[in-house]
């Protein structure tokens, strides 16, 4: 089961579609779609994403656009991978 819950107009012109759906084992998952590409995030990954977005909006030093750095890969359990 799934339901589109938001469609965001983006600065680049490609809409970002957010869809709520029931993931494996009945978990609350979210799918982000832009054009034909999509990413499905687990509940733990969505919680991490919310924290990252909050830090970015507060301009926490590690989340600014003023320095170069590699992003961390987050597994479906919400923890940093490798």
Q: What is the pLDDT of residues 33-60, one digit of tens each?
A: 999 899 999 989 999 999 989 988 888 7
Higher pLDDT, residue 62 or 27: 27
What number of CA atoms fall less than 13 Å from residue 72's CA on the CB side?
13
- As a whole number, mean pLDDT of residues 58-80 equals 78
Domain ranges of the chain: 1-41, 43-82
Dist CA 73 CA 37 (whole Å) = 19
Is residue 63 predicted with pLDDT exceeding 70? no
Residues of the chain with pLDDT > 70, as a percent, come to 91
Task: Please give the model's pTM, rounded to 2 decimal places.
Answer: 0.77
Label residues 25-51 b or e (16+ Cβ within 10 Å = b): eeeebbbbbeeeeeeebbeebeebeee
Dist CA 31 CA 57 (whole Å) = 22
Is residue 68 predicted with pLDDT exceeding 90? no
């Amino acid at each position: 089961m799934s339901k589109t819950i938001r469609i965001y107009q983006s600065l680049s012109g490609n809409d970002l579609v957010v869809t709520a759906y029931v993931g494996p084992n009945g978990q609350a998952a979210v799918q982000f779609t832009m054009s034909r590409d999509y990413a499905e995030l687990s509940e733990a990954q969505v919680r991490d994403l919310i924290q990252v977005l909050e830090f970015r909006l507060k301009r926490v030093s590690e989340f600014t656009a003023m320095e170069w750095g590699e992003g961390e890969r987050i597994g479906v359990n919400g923890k940093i991978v490798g």
